[in-house]
């Protein structure tokens, strides 16, 4: 099943909230009004009963209402207050008097009911009478005559106005709640459209951005809201992608360029050999020369592949404790023969255990690359020295050589990919210019730093600083 759209969810949410809110408010108002109307009716009845008591007199022992008939206000009050009015003898439960309206109802208490009501006076003065025509709220009062007899005096008030008001409110609510639900639907739909419009616009622009349009950016409205934040974050991702893709394109272009030159040379050599070579020794010479080129090419391709895979994060880096001193010693011993064959003295100056955390394979790569360069760029009878020491929480690896050095204009570029120094140097020194960029990448992966000091004609020092496995002590715990 297709998941519901955000706009549907928002609309539904608004509708439910509006409906529940209005239903709740209506119920609350209904209860409040009911309570208030009841209270007003009871208070009114009690007030009237208290006022009537003032007009009560006992003529021949029986309670009578006596008032000034000529006073319209008084007469009006008595008429209204006694519309529903009845008097019972509290002892005999006999009906003594009742108003015409009460009589018209045809209602009369039984003597048990009168006795019960008499018993309740003082605790619960309000009761009710329900007939087919009318519902009354009744106030009961017990009055003692001078001759000692007691009378139950009741006045009533119709609860119809209260019921009418409540019914009206109920009818209003019946309209209000569905109207609220409808408003919720409209408002939810409108809000959803309004909120999602910029999201839709972002989506449309994002969809148009292909790999060739990575320079494009999503529009930022400048409101600083969450959608702007989203657009800004997406734009940052785009910028990173643009840089990465740019680097890849540059890398590819560099590779093509690097491969084209030796391949053209190989092809030319083969063509010349085919056209001119006469003897087996001629062919052998050409093949030997080509073998050298092939070796260089395969070295270059291997380096490029390693660098590309490393940068793509495809090669995991181990986190083991490595003794940099021991590693440098074994590699120096390994390279000694190469140095010796070039008439170079290779020495090592290594502190006791210098422990770092990292990948011994990759660290080996760093030392070998630097040693290889040092030997490559040092003339006969020169010196190369490897040293490992620890200083201020860092393991320091240094490769000194007394070689040709690096000129100041070349120095800042040596760690760049495919960068090679002075091409006028002998052809055999030529590499792919990838070794140092791989060294820098590996060192960075180990949270370290690499730098170089050099003077033309006096040699170079490549210095690698890696965090010690246990700062302050070269001994691993």
CB 227 within 8 A of CB 198: yes
Q: Does 114 bind ligand ADP (CB under 6 A)?
A: no
Q: Does 433 bind ligand ADP (CB under 6 A)?
A: yes
For residue 135, the cross-strand partners are 130
- The one among 140, 154, 325, 373 contacting ligand ADP by CB under 6 A: 373
Binding mask 316-355 for ligand ADP (x = CB under 6 A): ----------------------------------------
Q: Does 99 bind ligand ADP (CB under 6 A)?
A: no
Q: Does 365 bind ligand ADP (CB under 6 A)?
A: no
CB 83 within 8 A of CB 139: no
Q: Does 432 bind ligand ADP (CB under 6 A)?
A: yes
- The one among 152, 339, 354, 374 contacting ligand ADP by CB under 6 A: 374
Q: Does 382 bind ligand ADP (CB under 6 A)?
A: no
Q: Which is nearer to ligand ADP, 159 or 344 (CB)?
A: 344
Q: Does 406 bind ligand ADP (CB under 6 A)?
A: yes
Stretch that binds ligand ADP, among 7-15, 314-322, 427-435, 463-471 (CB under 6 A): 427-435
Task: Determine how β-strand 84-89 pairs with β-strand 150-158.
Answer: antiparallel
Q: Does 460 bind ligand ADP (CB under 6 A)?
A: yes
Residue 145 falls in which region: left (phi positive, over 0), alpha (psi -120 to 50) or beta: beta
Closest distance to ligand ADP from the beta carbon of 273 (Å) = 28
Residues 6+ apart with CB under 8 A from 345: 339, 381, 382, 383, 384
Q: Which is nearer to ligand ADP, 22 or 414 (CB)?
A: 414
Task: Determine how β-strand 459-467 pairs with β-strand 394-401.
Answer: antiparallel
Q: Does 386 bind ligand ADP (CB under 6 A)?
A: no
Residues 6+ apart with CB under 8 A from 310: 438, 441, 442
Cα dist. 51→77, 155, 366 in Å? 9, 12, 110
Q: Which is nearer to ligand ADP, 188 or 435 (CB)?
A: 435
Residues 6+ apart with CB under 8 A from 116: none
Q: Does 401 bind ligand ADP (CB under 6 A)?
A: yes
- The one among 419, 453, 463, 470 contacting ligand ADP by CB under 6 A: 419
Beta strands in 308-447 (DSSP E): 320-323, 345-350, 355-358, 383-391, 394-401
Beta strands in 269-344 (DSSP E): 320-323
Closest distance to ligand ADP from the beta carbon of 453 (Å) = 11
Size of the site for ligand ADP (CB under 6 A): 20
Residues 6+ apart with CB under 8 A from 373: 399, 435, 436, 462
Cβ-based burial of 137 (10 A; exposed 0-12, middle 13-18, buried ≥19): buried
Coil, helix or strand at residue 2: coil
- Please identify which residue in the block is written with the tokens 């209506």: 26
CB 161 within 8 A of CB 173: no
Stretch that binds ligand ADP, among 19-27, 209-217, 353-361, 425-433 (CB under 6 A): 425-433
- The one among 431, 441, 450, 465 contacting ligand ADP by CB under 6 A: 431
Q: Which is nearer to ligand ADP, 122 or 457 (CB)?
A: 457
Tokens of 429: 């020194």
Closest distance to ligand ADP from the beta carbon of 256 (Å) = 18
- The one among 382, 435, 448, 474 contacting ligand ADP by CB under 6 A: 435
CB 101 within 8 A of CB 83: yes
Q: Does 414 bind ligand ADP (CB under 6 A)?
A: yes
- Please identify which residue in the block is written with the tokens 């390994």: 334
- The one among 404, 450, 465, 466 contacting ligand ADP by CB under 6 A: 404
CB 438 within 8 A of CB 365: yes
- Please identify which residue in the block is written with the tokens 């033309």: 456
Q: Does 180 bind ligand ADP (CB under 6 A)?
A: no
Task: Determine how β-strand 383-391 pairs with β-strand 345-350.
Answer: parallel
Q: Which is nearer to ligand ADP, 156 or 433 (CB)?
A: 433
Stretch that binds ligand ADP, among 21-29, 36-44, 242-250, 432-440 (CB under 6 A): 432-440
- Which residues contact ligand ADP (rule: CB under 6 A)? 373-374, 377, 401, 403-406, 414, 419-421, 431-437, 460
């Amino acid at each position: 099943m297709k998941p519901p759209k955000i706009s549907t969810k928002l609309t539904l949410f608004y509708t439910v909230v509006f409906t529940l809110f209005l239903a709740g408010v209506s119920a609350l108002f209904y209860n409040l009004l009911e309570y208030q109307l009841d209270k007003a009716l009871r208070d009114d009845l009690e007030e009237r009963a208290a006022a009537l008591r003032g007009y009560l007199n006992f003529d021949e022992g029986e309670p009578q209402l006596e008032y000034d008939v000529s006073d319209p206000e008084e007469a009006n009050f008595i008429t209204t207050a006694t519309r529903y009015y009845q008097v019972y003898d509290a002892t005999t439960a006999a009906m003594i008097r009742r108003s015409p309206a009460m009589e018209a109802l045809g209602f009369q208490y039984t003597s048990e009911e009168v006795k019960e009501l008499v018993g309740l006076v003082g605790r619960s003065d309000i009761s009710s009478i329900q007939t087919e025509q009318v519902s009354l709220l009744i106030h009961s009062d017990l009055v003692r005559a001078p001759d000692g007899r007691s009378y139950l005096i009741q006045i009533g008030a119709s609860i119809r106005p209260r019921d009418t008001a409540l019914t009206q409110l109920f009818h209003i609510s019946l309209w209000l709640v569905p109207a609220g639900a409808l408003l919720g639907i409209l408002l939810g739909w409108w809000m959803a459209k309004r909120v999602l419009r910029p999201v839709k616009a972002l989506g449309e622009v994002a969809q148009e951005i292909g790999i060739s349009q990575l320079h494009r950016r999503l529009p930022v409205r400048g409101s600083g809201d969450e959608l702007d934040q989203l657009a800004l974050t997406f734009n940052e991702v785009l910028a990173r992608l643009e840089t990465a893709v740019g680097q890849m394109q540059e890398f590819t272009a560099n590779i093509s360029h690097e491969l084209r030159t030796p391949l053209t040379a190989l092809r030319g050599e083969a063509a010349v050999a085919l056209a001119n070579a006469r003897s087996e020794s001629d062919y052998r010479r050409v093949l030997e020369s080509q073998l050298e080129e092939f070796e260089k090419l395969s070295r270059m391709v291997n380096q490029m592949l390693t660098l590309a895979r490393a940068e793509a994060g495809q090669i995991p880096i181990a986190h083991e404790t490595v003794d940099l001193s021991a590693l440098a010693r074994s590699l120096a011993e390994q390279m000694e023969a190469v140095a010796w064959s070039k008439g170079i003295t290779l020495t090592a100056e290594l502190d006791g255990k210098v422990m770092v955390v990292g990948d011994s394979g990759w660290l080996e790569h760093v030392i070998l690359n630097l040693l290889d360069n040092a030997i490559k760029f040092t003339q006969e009878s020169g010196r190369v020295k490897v040293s490992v020491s620890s200083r201020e929480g860092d393991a320091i690896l240094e490769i000194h050589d007394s070689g040709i050095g690096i000129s100041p204009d070349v120095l800042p570029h040596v760690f760049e990919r495919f960068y090679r120094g002075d091409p006028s140097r002998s052809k055999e020194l030529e590499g792919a210019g990838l070794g140092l960029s791989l060294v820098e990448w590996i060192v960075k992966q180990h949270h370290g730093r690499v730098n170089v000091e050099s003077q033309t004609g006096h040699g170079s020092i490549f210095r690698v600083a890696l965090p010690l496995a246990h700062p302050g002590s070269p001994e691993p715990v």
